[in-house]
Every structure is written in C-alpha cells, then in structure tokens.
Structure 1
Amino acid sequence: MRILMWHVHGSWTTAFVQGRHDVVIPVDAARGPDGRGRARTWVWPDRVHEVPVQELDGADFDCVILQRPHEQELCRRWTGRVPGKDVRAVYLEHNTPVCGAATTRHPMAEQHAIPVVHVTHFNRLMWDCGRAPTTVIEHGVIDPGYRYTGEEPGLASVVNEPVRRGRVVGADILLELAGRQATDGRSLDVYGMGMRDLAVVATDAGLPGWTARLHDDLPQDALLDRLPRHRAYLHVCRWTSLGLSLIEAMLLGMPVLAVDTTEACAAVPADGGLVSSDLDALLRRADDWIADPDSARRAGRAARVHALEKYGLPRFLDDWDRLLEGATS
C-alpha cells in the first residue's frame, strides 16, 4: 500500500514507517511544518519517499493519514483529491483536547466518512467525536534494548519546552522537586529541549536548592544511553497524550514514577513502578529504590516486560495493517 502523510510527529512516524507500506512525505524548499520531508534526526527506511509539493498532483497513493485539520484542504489543493471521497482517509489524533476536558468537539466530529484513530483510550474518552467513527491504536515504540544500570542514585525526567508548555507538562512539579532536593539529598536530571529557559525561570524565582542538572536536546541515541544510568524515571506530565519517553524508559529497564493523570495508570504496571497524584508518595518510593538498588532493578525488569507486550512494534504495526486494509477495501 502507498500512503500519503505529513511529517508531524517524529517519534510516532519513526515507528509507523518500520512497517511494510510505502509512505509519501510532502517536502518543500523551506522544510516547514507542511513540507518537512524525511526526518533528519531519525533513521527511516528507503520506503519513505519525499515528494515535492508541486509534484503531488497526480501522485500515486492509496490512502491518506491526516493528523491536523488543515491537511484535508492541503490534500485537496495539492493532489486534487478530497479525503474520504476521492481517496480513503483516516484521521490520526495524537493529543488530548486543548481546552475543556470531555467537552471539546473534535474537528472531525461532523462527518462520518473519515474514522478518527486515537493513540490512547483516555484520548478517545475525552474527545467529543460526534458521529465520526473512532478507534484506538496504542503507541508502538522501537525497542532500544535493556540498558539499565541504575548506577546514579537519583531520578531522571524528559520534558520538551517546559517553560512554554508550563503546567501542562508539569514544569512546576520539576521546580518544586528540584527545590526540595538539596535538603533531601536526591539528585534530579532533566533532559529535553528548552532546558536553558527552565534554568532561567528557576533562578529568577530564587528557588533554594535548585541544583538539578539540565541536559538540553541530546541526540536520541545519547539520551537512550544516558537515561538508564539513573535509578528511576520520573514522568510529570499533567495533561498531554502519553509521553513516548515514559515507554522508552520502561523498555530500557527503568523503574518508573508517574503523576496519576491521563493514560499513565494503564501504561505503568503495579510491579514496575508507582503512579500517584501524591508527590510525597512518589518521592518515598524513590527513596526506597535509592536505598535498595535490587528492588529498583526488579521493578525495571517488570516495567520492560509490560512495555514490550503493550507497546511493542509488532502489535502496533499489525493493528495499523488491519485498519488500513479495512480503510482501502
């Protein structure tokens, strides 16, 4: 099958293109949001083809995967084909509603020709999709292999652009925990894009004990090597779709601590970590693991087993194959 889709979410697309389908990715000279082309920081197979925007009219494809509302119009204008009418289409929804949990109407809610595919059951529950058919295909993540050492007795977290995204991704929680650590003796390493901005905010706030180590935008391979040296992984997002870094941490063999919101309770097994809205409870579990490395290692192995079963690439690709075969039959 030949599929047209835009390069929107690099991690998700990297998993999807490991399948057996040819994928057409629009590209333009600016390589902006609508013409980004092939990934430059991820390894994609040769079956992913860049096609210049001006050459899409008449391009050969069997199905289009839409990920943003305006892509319907882009497809019509650039290819001459209307999604859901002239070509089979599905709409992939990566995110939770931006406003009004449970009351936000989805952009595809007023039609029934294009099914909406959610990446978590929580997202499906929260979006009001009206009469649009809906389904869930949970994330798939490429297995980085078991790499856990836990040699550094502290916590690690991954958050991109924490200052711009603020409370949504738990930036304030990171600041609070970092403010406690000087007294309690815990270390906290935070990885991701925008760490310099977080350091400025912490300094301006005059937080006592702000000694968290910040690591700005490491390459993916370096990040996957660095994370499992920490004793445990900390997931602080309040209102966002399930972070792939949490799944990657479990696959690496890390025990995990997660704020109890969105899909975290389904993602983390009871023997692989702790999910709680009580920050003190999360820190107590961190203390237990710092004091007992063997217990942390056992929890990390259980987390990895769960992640391989629930978020393994074979299941993910099989689910998409079944959906796409139905969409094009």
Structure 2
Amino acid sequence: MRILAWHVHAAWMTSFVQGPHEYYVPVLPDRSADGKGRAQTYDWPDTVREITPEELRTTDLDVVLLQRPCEVELFARWAGRALGRHGVPAVYVEHNTPRGDVADWQHPLAARADVPIVHVTEFNRTVWDNGIAPAFVIEHGVPDYGYGYVGDDDSLVAAINEPVRRWRVAGTDLVARVTQQVPVSVYGMGTAELPARIPGLAGVDDLSQAELHERMGRHFGYLHPYRWTSLGLSLIEAMMLGLPVLAIGATAAYEAVPPEAGLVSTAPDRLIETAQRWRRDPAEARARGQAGRAHALRQFGLARFLDDWDGLLKEVCR
C-alpha cells in the first residue's frame, strides 16, 4: 500500500514504518510541525519518502493515516482531494487522552462514520466519546532492541519530553518528590530547563534513540510518573530493554505492567520504598526487569503490531 502519514510521534512512527508498504511523509522547507519529514534521530527504512504539498497533488495514495484534527483540512488543501467515503480512504490514530471537562470528551472525528478511529489503548477508547465513528484498538508495538540492562547507575531514569511545560500532566512534580529520597535522571526534549526548577536533578536532551536506550540500560530502574497519557512508549521500551519499572497507577499502566515486572501504584511513597529496596537488592531488580522484558515481547511485539495494522488498513482500503 501507499500510505501518507505525517511525522507526529517519531517513536510510534518508527514501529509503524517497519511494514512492507511505501510511506509518504509530508515535508516543508522549515521542517515545522506540519512537515517534519523523515526523523533525524530514529532509524527509518528507505521505504519512507518525503513528499512536498505540491507533489501530494499528483501522487496516488491508497490510504491516509491521520493523527491530528488539522490534518483533515491540510490534506484537502494540499492534495485537492477529499477523505473517507467520497475520497481517499483514511483512518485516524488517537495517541492522546482527552483534555478538558469529562462531559466534553467528544472526539474531533466523532461525527464521521467513514473514518475509523484507532486508539492505542483500551483506556483511550473507553474515555473518548467516539460518536458514530467506528472505534478500534491497536496496542503499541516496539522493535526488540535486545536486552540492554546493566543497572550500574545508582539512579532511576525517566523519559519525559517538555517536563517543565507538562509539569503535572507528565508527573514532573512527582519526580521532584522521588528525588528527595532516590536519585533520578530525566531524558527528553526540553530537559535542560529542569535543574532550575528541581535543583540537583540531571536532565539530558537531544539523544538519538540508540544513545537513549544505551543510557537507560545503565540505570537500576525506570520511573513512569505520568498522570494523564495514553501509554508512553518509553515505558514499553524500558521493559523491552530489561529495566524493572515503577509507574503511577493511571490510565493504562495497570494493564501494561504485570506485577512481576515492577510496581504500579497511585502512592508515590510505595514507589519510593520499592526503589530503595531495589538499590539494596540488585538481584531482585534484575529479575523484575527480565520478567518485564518477557511480558513486553509477548504483548508489545512488533510482528503483532504490524499484523494488526495490515488487517485494518486492508479493510479500510476495501
């Protein structure tokens, strides 16, 4: 298939483009949000091709994968074609949890019966009001980067993009609480702003995916502090690498992390107590991480993810 998809979430897209298709990614001269083009720090295959708005008008497509509400209008303006029943088949991937009052959680495409909404967790499908749109779930899939746990760094690791701007949503304030008793290093975009807000906290920005995974594996455990998110891919990647995980019990975390892989709790003090125990007992930490890796390979394997997507896309194109 020839698939058009904007580069929105690089980590998710890295898995999606591993399939046997041709992928077209819009690009603008300034590589801004509506045209980032190919990822610069992730390994994407040659089947991912950049396409300009002008080229889009004359390119045949089998399906359009939408990820933001604005892309409906962008496609119509750039390609001069409609989407859905009277145009190019389309699906909408919902990566995010809704915002605002619970009574207003109607999905932007809830009134369209011709564009399926694909949620990345069952939690998302449950909390969004999908209206008359067909709603499906395809859980995340992550490539197996191999067992990478070393655990010789006496600190937890958390992966948070823009941790200051997304302070309570991302649980950055909970990271600040944990650091009072257990060291934490935070990786992600915008982490350079963290030390000014949380003295003594180490923030590391601008790493390639390979560098990030290598550094994550050095830490004795992974901290997932998010209050309100679908399910961070970094949590799954941490389990794939073999790190034991500590997660705030919100959204889909309870379904993603089995008890043998670590601890999911709404009580930060319990997470801190468990982290302190792992520091004293590295054998337990390693065993938890190995159990988490086995679970992640079963539930979040790349082959299952790609098979699920192939099946859905074939139905949409048909």
SS of the residue corresponding to residue 149 of structure 1 reads coil
Alpha-carbon RMSD: 1.2
- Identity across the alignment (%): 52
Which deviates further from its counterpart, 36-45 or 296-305?
36-45
Residue 162 and residue 146 in structure 1: after superposition, are their counterparts in 2 closer, same or farther (change >3 A)?
same
- In the TM superposition, what is the alpha-carbon distance from 1:102 to its structure 2 partner? 6.3
Equivalent residue for 2:250?
261
SS of the residue corresponding to residue 167 of structure 2 reads helix
Equivalent residue for 2:52?
52
1:200 counterpart (176, 192, 196): 196
Equivalent residue for 2:238?
249
Aligned-partner residue type, residue 30 of structure 2: A
Question: Is the 1:58–1:80 contact (alpha carbons within 8 Å) kept by the matching residues of 2?
Answer: no
Residues 169-219 of structure 1: CA deviation (Å, up to 9, x unaligned):
0011111222x22xxxx32212112222121123xxxxxxx4332223322
Equivalent residue for 1:211?
200
Equivalent residue for 1:86?
87
Structure 1 residues without counterparts, runs of 5 or longer: 203-209
Structure 2 residues without counterparts, runs of 5 or longer: none
Question: Is the 2:195–2:202 contact (alpha carbons within 8 Å) kept by the matching residues of 1?
Answer: no
Aligned-partner residue type, residue 295 of structure 1: E
Q: Runs of at least 4 residues of structure 1 off by over 4 A? A: none
Which deviates further from its counterpart, 286-295 or 264-273?
286-295
- Per the normalisation by structure 1, the TM-score is 0.93
- In the TM superposition, what is the alpha-carbon distance from 1:237 to its structure 2 partner? 0.5
- In the TM superposition, what is the alpha-carbon distance from 1:152 to its structure 2 partner? 2.1
Residues 119-142 of structure 1: CA deviation (Å, up to 9, x unaligned):
111111111111111000011111
Equivalent residue for 2:307?
318
* Number of aligned residues: 317
1:292 equivalent in alignment to 2:281:
yes
Equivalent residue for 2:187?
191
Equivalent residue for 1:328?
317
Q: Structure 2: how far apart are the matches of 1:317 and 1:64?
A: 16
Equivalent residue for 2:63?
63
Equivalent residue for 2:159?
158
- In the TM superposition, what is the alpha-carbon distance from 1:101 to its structure 2 partner? 3.8
SS of the residue corresponding to residue 154 of structure 2 reads strand
Question: Is the 1:17–1:44 contact (alpha carbons within 8 Å) kept by the matching residues of 2?
Answer: yes
Question: Is the 2:41–2:207 contact (alpha carbons within 8 Å) kept by the matching residues of 1?
Answer: no
Equivalent residue for 1:309?
298
Question: Is the 1:256–1:272 contact (alpha carbons within 8 Å) kept by the matching residues of 2?
Answer: yes
Question: Is the 1:103–1:127 contact (alpha carbons within 8 Å) kept by the matching residues of 2?
Answer: no
1:236 equivalent in alignment to 2:225:
yes
Q: Structure 1: how far apart are the matches of 2:82 and 2:45?
A: 28
Question: Is the 1:190–1:215 contact (alpha carbons within 8 Å) kept by the matching residues of 2?
Answer: yes
1:16 equivalent in alignment to 2:5:
no
Question: Is the 1:112–1:131 contact (alpha carbons within 8 Å) kept by the matching residues of 2?
Answer: yes
Aligned-partner residue type, residue 208 of structure 2: P
Question: Is the 2:163–2:191 contact (alpha carbons within 8 Å) kept by the matching residues of 1?
Answer: yes
Residue 105 and residue 78 in structure 1: after superposition, are their counterparts in 2 closer, same or farther (change >3 A)?
same
Q: Structure 1: how far apart are the matches of 2:231 and 2:252?
A: 6
